Amino acid sequence: MTTKNSNPKPKTQQLAVRRLGLADYDTVWALQKELARQRISGELAHDTLLLVQHPPIVTLGRSTKYEHLLSAPEYLAANGILLRDVERGGDVTVHEPGQLVAYPIFDLKQHKKDLHWYLRQIEESVIRAIAEFGIAGTRSIGQTGVWIANRKIASIGVHARDWVTWHGVALNVNNTLATFDHIVPCGIEHVVMTTVKRECAAVGRDAPTIDEVADSLAFAVAAVFGLRLARCND
């Protein structure tokens, strides 16, 4: 029988973290699908978190309304911005350098077979991570993601097969937000996007580096999902 003063049960499940730096979207997309296949088959023993930045790209989720893409594909291509239809949920979003993208390859059979629960856990992870830098993140009822008052700082879109997840969360750290000019972010009219850097400046704090935010997010994800953080490999 456990008592109030008993030591907590040690975390035995690991979270392997892989830092990919600035990496091509298609390469990382293929890696996610391969790791998910391995997690489904049992070849991959532990949940894995990929942390990465991407060159400018617009991605269209399964719920995208094409009027939310404000620039023609030809214009995007001429300006060096990729465009991809992907299998994640959600509407249109972008990635660009300075934005931290986290892709959890998680087996929800080892956690809880509930995608709504999973989305709330991802939101909680981001909220805890940015709290380390004095930023009070919140949820917005009916709108997946993380907000600072009426400003959106993180967008989430996921996919799962056999309860194994891929795709994930994009947290604006010190990106310019320029690529967002080409879309209606997540299909939300008049949304104001923000970054960790801007929110820190607003309260007179020094902004963390993207590596510091990556560290904080990795620790938060491990804590929220009850995992033991494995040594990060760069």
Give the tens place of pLDDT for each residue, 65-93. 989 999 999 999 999 999 999 999 989 99
- Give which of 102, 122, 103 is closest to 111, Cα–Cα: 122
Annotate 132-149 with b (16+ C-beta within 10 A) or e (fewer).
ebebebeeeeeebbbbbe
Question: What's the pLDDT at 187?
Answer: 78
Question: What's the pLDDT at 174?
Answer: 98
- CA distance linking residue 100 with residue 54, whole number of Å: 8
Query: Is residue 38 a part of any domain in this protein?
Result: yes
Query: Is residue 234 a part of any domain in this protein?
Result: no
Q: Tell whether pTM > 0.85.
A: yes
Strand pairing report for 143-148 and 138-140: antiparallel
Domain residue limits at 110: 14-229
Which residues are part of the catalytic machinery?
A: 186
Query: Is residue 5 a part of any domain in this protein?
Result: no
Give the tens place of pLDDT for each residue, 199-210. 999 999 999 999
Query: Is residue 8 a part of any domain in this protein?
Result: no
Strand order in the sheet with 92-95: 82-85, 57-60, 92-95
- CA distance linking residue 39 with residue 36, whole number of Å: 5
Annotate 150-179 with b (16+ C-beta within 10 A) or e (fewer).
eebbbbbbbbbeebbbbbbbbbbbbbebeb
- CA distance linking residue 134 with residue 5, whole number of Å: 32
Residues 6+ apart with CB under 8 A from 39: 47, 48, 105, 106, 107, 164
**Counted domains in the chain:** 1
The two three-digit tokens of residue 169, written as one number: 């969360």
Annotate 55-70 with b (16+ C-beta within 10 A) or e (fewer).
ebbbbbbeebeeebbe
Give the tens place of pLDDT for each residue, 102-161. 999 999 999 999 999 999 999 999 999 999 999 999 999 888 999 999 899 999 999 999
Query: Is residue 7 a part of any domain in this protein?
Result: no
**Backbone angle region of 179, left / alpha / beta, with phi > 0 → left and psi within -120 to 50 → alpha:** alpha
Q: CA geometry: angle at 112 spanning 165 and 89, to 5°?
A: 35
What CATH code is carried by the domain that includes residue 167? 3.30.930.10
pLDDT band at residue 219 under the 50/70/90 scheme: very high
Query: Is residue 75 a part of any domain in this protein?
Result: yes
pLDDT band at residue 25 under the 50/70/90 scheme: very high
Contact 179, 56 (CB under 8 A): yes
Query: Is residue 4 a part of any domain in this protein?
Result: no
- Tokens 């935010």 appear where? 213
Query: Is residue 22 a part of any domain in this protein?
Result: yes
